[in-house]
Amino acid sequence: MFNRERWSEILEALSANKLRTALTAFGVAWGIFVLVILLALTNGLRNGVTADFGDFATNSMFMWTQGTSKPYKGLPKGRYFNYKIDDVAAIKSQIPNLKYVSPRNQLGGFRGANNVIRGTKTGAFEIYGDYPEYINQQPMDILQGRFVSYSDINEKRKTCVIGTGVIKGLYDKDEDPIGTYIKINGVNFMVVGTFKMSNSQGNQEEEANTIYIPFTTFGQAFNRGDRVGWMAITAKDNVPITTIKQKVFDLMKSRHKVHPEDDRAIGHFDLAEEFGRINGLFSILSIVGYFVGILVLMSGIIGINNIMLIVVKERTKEIGIRRALGASPWTIKSQILQESLLLTTLSGMIGITFAAFLIWGLNTILDNAGPTENFANPSVSMQVVFTALIILIVSGLAAGFIPATRATKMKPVDALRIE
């Protein structure tokens, strides 16, 4: 079927009217170009927006306390309460399907005063008391040393892990921070590790100016006792946190004598829900991209269909001659199908190639321009390209099918009679 004569015949037929072939091919190339570009732009938007979520485990929520809004069991409304470290253990043991429950405490922060001293240098940094699990929820690159460990927690060691901004603020160039001491609010901590956020949540500076210390040490050194500022809770991958969170709230309400219907007492932020909402939006955008792209592609395909019909019509007599010489209907049909297939896939490849160049160009510009709001790394996966190719092949065959049938429908004697 795919021999040299066949190919040279197809090429002869296609190059017989170069301008027409080129214009037809352009229709398909344009269609696939639009399809790929639309999907790439959607992807770019998705990448840009989801980058704002950073690397934080998406199936997570944050939970803190607020004043109660209803009196309950003799307690007045407007009462403030705090989570305790026991609550963490209770959540872990009583709520199934949770992966990590990290209690957290914070010192310093937005517009905080200078709170860290090393020798003659000082700086204002964010200090977090954390458990070792936290690094699983908020992935970060440990540049040197290690993150907080359970030995630190158990022994309430005064160790800390510092960000790159802290190093810049407190250390000279080429100075090795590991093993040195910094004074946080008057308490000395030994630096055991340095980190860098691999994928920023949008506030790189703040992240770099962060110091992690063991949660237990935090409570003791800064007079928090067993109080918990807030919790970061991550559910198992196949169980959305959104479906579990109410159980967690109910447990907390009963443990802290909060009215069961007092929803204002417990504040939370459901990252999974937000993430799902954004993802859903982009899934719809992708579908729109496919839809529009395929419609544009379809008009190109109809162009090929048209041209093949004209070609068949023009060559009616030639087809009659070939049949008189012994060409079977299938030989004729397969040649027309192959012509249409070659034309579609070839022009489709050209479209994909141009789209790839454009995407590459966009990426280069974006890389040079630095981070852009809500847009990053427009790209399409190989899967999309293969899908596009399959669409092309199917539509190439579809475009050739009607003309091919038309070509052999006429009796040879009638075909020969045409001048």
Partner 1 sequence: MIQIKDLHKSYHMGSNSLHVLKGINFNVNEGELVSIMGSSGSGKSTLLNILGMLDEADSGQYILDNVPIKNLNEKIAAKYRNEFLGFIFQSFNLINYKSALDNVSMPLYYKGVKRKERTDRAMHYLEKVGLAEWSHHLPSELSGGQKQRVAIARALASDPKVLLADEPTGALDTKTSYEVMELIQGINDEGKTILIVTHEDDIAHMTKRIVNLRDGVIIDDSTVEQVRASAHV
Q: What DSSP string runs through 189-216?
A: EEEEEEEE-SS--S-HHHHHTEEEEEHH
In the beta sheet, which residues pair with residue 161?
193, 212
Task: Report how far residue 130's alpha carbon sits from residue 214's, in angstroms, rounded to the nearest whole number.
Answer: 5
- Alpha-carbon distance of 367 to 389, in angstroms, equals 29
Q: Rounded CA gap, 112 and 126, in Å?
A: 8
- Which helix (H) or strand (E) segment is 306 a member of? helix 271-314
- Identify which of residues 277 and 411 has a Cβ nearer to partner 1 in the complex: 411
**Between residues 190 and 413, which has the closer beta carbon with respect to partner 1?**
413
Cβ-based nearer residue to partner 1, 324 or 365:
324
Smallest distance, partner 1 to C-beta of residue 21, A? 14
Rg of the chain (C-alpha set): 33
Name the residue nearer to partner 1 (CB basis): 13 or 296. Answer: 13
Name the minimum Å distance from CB 394 to partner 1.
Answer: 26
- How far apart CA 230 and CA 105 sit, in angstroms, is 7
| Structural tokens at position 283 | 């899934």
Q: How far is the CB of 20 from partner 1 (least distance, A)?
A: 15
CB of 413 to partner 1, least distance (A): 4
* 399: nearest Cα among 325, 315, 337: 337
Q: Which is nearer to partner 1, 276 or 412 (CB)?
A: 412
Name beta bridge partners: 190: 159, 181
Closer of 269 and 330 to partner 1 (Cβ): 330
Nearby residues of 373 by Cβ (< 8 Å), 6 or more positions away:
48
Other beta carbons less than 10 A from residue 11's beta carbon? 12
Give least dist CB 368 to partner 1, A.
Answer: 51
Q: How far is the CB of 25 from partner 1 (least distance, A)?
A: 20
Residue with Cβ nearer partner 1 (366 or 416) = 416
Q: Residues interacting with partner 1, by CB under 8 A? A: 4-5, 12, 16, 317-318, 321-331, 408, 411-413, 416
Per DSSP, the chain holds a count of helices (H) and strands (E) of 14, 14
Our CB check for partner 1 shows the closer of 350 and 416 to be 416
CA distance 255 to 235: 21
* CB of residue 310 to partner 1, shortest distance in Å: 17
β-strand 126-130 against 98-107: which pairing, if any?
A: antiparallel
Residues with Cβ within 8 Å of 210's Cβ and at least 6 positions away in sequence, in order, are 125, 126, 127, 128, 162, 163, 165, 166
Nearer to partner 1, 331 or 353 (CB): 331
For the bound state, the minimum distance from the C-beta of residue 348 to partner 1, rounded and expressed in Å, comes to: 26
How far apart are CB 237 and partner 1 at their closest, in Å?
Answer: 58
Nearer to partner 1, 2 or 80 (CB): 2
| Token output for 210 | 């962060």
Beta carbon of residue 384, minimum distance to partner 1 (angstroms, whole number): 39
User: What distance in Å separates the CA atoms of residue 32 and residue 343, rounded to the nearest whole number?
Assistant: 13
Structure tokens at 350: 């050209």
> Smaller CB distance to partner 1: residue 168 or 409?
409
Q: What angle do CA 336, 342, 345 make, to 5 degrees?
A: 135
The position carrying tokens 């249409």 is: 340
What minimum distance in Å lies between the beta carbon of 401 and partner 1? 18
CA distance 247 to 31: 51
Asked if residue 167 lies in contact with residue 210, where contact means CB atoms within 8 angstroms, the answer is no
Return d(Cα 380, Cα 378) in angstroms, integer. 7
